[in-house]
């Protein structure tokens, strides 16, 4: 009994401390061949000792975070398999401390004349994101906050519904933060919503003709865990019954469209663990139930992720599987990426999701294939690897500015197609 109590105390202490990434390196491969990409994909889904920051795909580079005690072995493995590489980030913990993005501003006061804490000069907690939604709803009679349920740990999952266009108008669903460590995603999604609502006079058609639904925090438990305990945490925080105490499911492998078919692991300790079944996670159940309740079905469902600077279009569950409106959706991704480039010269590559890597059970595939959205996209935001997930906070605003330019192209297309019906 004493041994069990001591072990439980040890686990509690470990959970309460912040994980350090001292000595962890990020290795970047050269462009992978089909064979070398498959070798690394096999490692990804069978080993939990390497954290793949980007996915191994033919013709692309893969980024891998490796602990100091494994670097020599991993480098030897890569060399033996003729996979060229270099060290992209020498010490992950130093990078985290350098960019000073390890904490939201807990004690920041709301500025005079401003009604919410959130700004786009830093990264903020789940509660501050929800406060932002509450403030926009309180200030606009055409907006409301809808609670779609609670997370595994009991956090409120709130959606901002902006319904100025009225009943029956086309709608858009924006999902951000499904992967916990991708802090730039909720920041950019809220930036876009602020522009839509608070700068209404500059583009009235965007609200007059389209209804908007924003979920800025699709994985609130994981998001807060990445703020408070482990900056590189990716998954949810559910109890999986793992013998090793491993928690959580990859929420972007947990959706019921071709669930579990490719690019996933059934190891509960893996970062790409897809869960025991589709929609095993309460967070995904909440989102599914909410978007299915919308009438009409959202004409666009858009997912914000990081990093790699990509504008992805479905499907991603297998190679050479495309939606019926492939030409239309692909061209829109190209046009949006072109507009985005004009702002800061940031290059986004518009590609099919499976060209990056086949991965089944992703939300964007489900929005397109099961829900029936005409358009479904995932944007992988800044950068291309210099900082990876630890994107400096001074890049939030420029990221929002360029994404807004791309988004305007999409919005105008949505208005055009709705007026043709």
Catalytically active residues, by annotation = 380
Assign 10 to helix, strand or coil: helix
Residue of 328, 333, 330, 329 whose CA lies nearest to 311: 333
**Cα separations (Å) of 273 from 251, 281, 359, 412?**
9, 12, 12, 38
Q: How many CB atoms lie within 10 A of CB 295?
A: 8
129's CB contacts (< 8 A; 6+ apart) are 118, 186, 190, 216, 217
Assign 387 to helix, strand or coil: coil
Q: Are 373 and 296 in contact (CB under 8 A)?
A: no
Residue of 379, 225, 212 whose CA lies nearest to 310: 379
As given in the structure block, the two tokens for residue 183 are: 């802090």
**Cα separations (Å) of 65 from 3, 49, 285, 326, 345?**
34, 9, 31, 35, 28
Q: How far apart are CA 199 and CA 112, in angstroms?
A: 20
């Amino acid at each position: 009994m004493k041994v069990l109590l001591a072990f439980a105390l040890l686990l509690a202490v470990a959970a309460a401390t912040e994980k350090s990434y001292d000595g962890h390196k990020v290795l970047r491969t050269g462009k992978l061949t089909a064979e070398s990409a498959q070798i690394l994909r096999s490692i990804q889904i069978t080993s939990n000792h390497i954290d793949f920051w980007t996915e191994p795909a033919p013709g692309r580079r893969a980024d891998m975070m490796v602990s100091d005690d494994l670097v020599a072995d991993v480098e030897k493995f890569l060399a033996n398999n003729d996979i060229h590489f270099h060290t992209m980030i020498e010490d992950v913990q130093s990078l985290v401390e350098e960019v000073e993005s390890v904490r939201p501003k807990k004690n920041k006061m709301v500025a005079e004349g401003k009604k919410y804490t959130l700004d786009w000069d830093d990264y903020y907690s789940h509660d501050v994101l929800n406060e932002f939604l509450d403030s926009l709803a309180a200030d606009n009679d055409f907006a409301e906050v809808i609670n779609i349920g609670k997370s595994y740990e009991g956090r409120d999952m709130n959606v901002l519904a902006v319904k100025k266009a009225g009943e029956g108008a086309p709608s858009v669903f924006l999902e951000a933060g499904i992967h916990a460590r991708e802090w730039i995603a909720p920041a950019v999604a809220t930036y876009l919503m602020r522009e839509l609502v608070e700068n209404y006079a500059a583009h009235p058609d965007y609200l007059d003709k389209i209804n908007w639904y924003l979920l800025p925090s699709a994985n609130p438990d994981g998001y807060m865990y990445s703020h408070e305990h482990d900056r590189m945490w990716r998954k949810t925080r559910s109890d999986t019954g793992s013998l090793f105490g491993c928690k959580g499911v990859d929420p972007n492998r947990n959706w019921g469209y071709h669930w579990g078919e490719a690019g996933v692991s059934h190891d509960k300790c893996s970062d790409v663990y897809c869960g025991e079944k589709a929609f095993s996670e309460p967070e995904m159940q909440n989102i599914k139930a909410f978007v299915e309740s919308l009438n009409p079905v959202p004409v666009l469902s858009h997912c914000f992720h990081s990093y790699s600077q990509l504008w992805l279009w479905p499907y991603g569950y297998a190679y050479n599987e495309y939606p019926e409106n492939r030409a239309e959706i692909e061209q829109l991704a190209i046009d949006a990426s072109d507009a985005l480039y004009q702002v800061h010269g940031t290059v986004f590559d518009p590609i099919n999701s499976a060209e990056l890597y086949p991965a089944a059970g992703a939300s964007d595939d489900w929005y397109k294939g099961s829900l029936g959205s005409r358009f479904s996209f995932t944007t992988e935001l800044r950068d291309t690897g210099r900082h990876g997930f630890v994107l400096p906070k001074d890049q939030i605003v420029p990221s929002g500015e360029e994404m807004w330019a791309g988004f305007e192209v999409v919005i105008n297309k949505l208005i055009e197609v709705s007026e043709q019906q």
